[in-house]
Amino acid sequence: MSWLDRLPLPWLIFMAFWMAVAPIQPEPHLIEKFRMLSQGTLTVPLDIFDLLMHATPLVLLGLRLWRRKSKS
């Protein structure tokens, strides 16, 4: 996973934040999709893809920070 270490951390933070809150109105997609997941209504393939698309930068940021901490 050395490719993850080569990603610029400021850009990864920016992308993770942006995708977590986009679109701001009426409600961020990530919150909406997590609510649908908890209610059991996340069944449409497009909604599942949307959840993965909005959550991936957060997962990558978490992995990057975890790898950075474990190296020190």
pLDDT, tens only, 35-61: 999 999 999 999 899 999 999 999 999
> Residue 16, Cβ neighbours under 10 Å: how many?
20
| Identity at 56, one-letter amino acid code | T
pTM to 2 decimals? 0.82
Q: Which of 49, 58, 66 is nearest to 5 (CA)?
A: 66
Residue 12 pLDDT > 80: yes
Domain count, the chain: 1
| Identity at 41, one-letter amino acid code | T
Distance CA 35, CA 42 (A): 9
> Residue 57, Cβ neighbours under 10 Å: how many?
19
Task: Tell me the residue range of the domain where 35 lies.
Answer: 2-71
Is there a cis peptide before residue 23, judged by omega within 30 degrees of 0?
yes
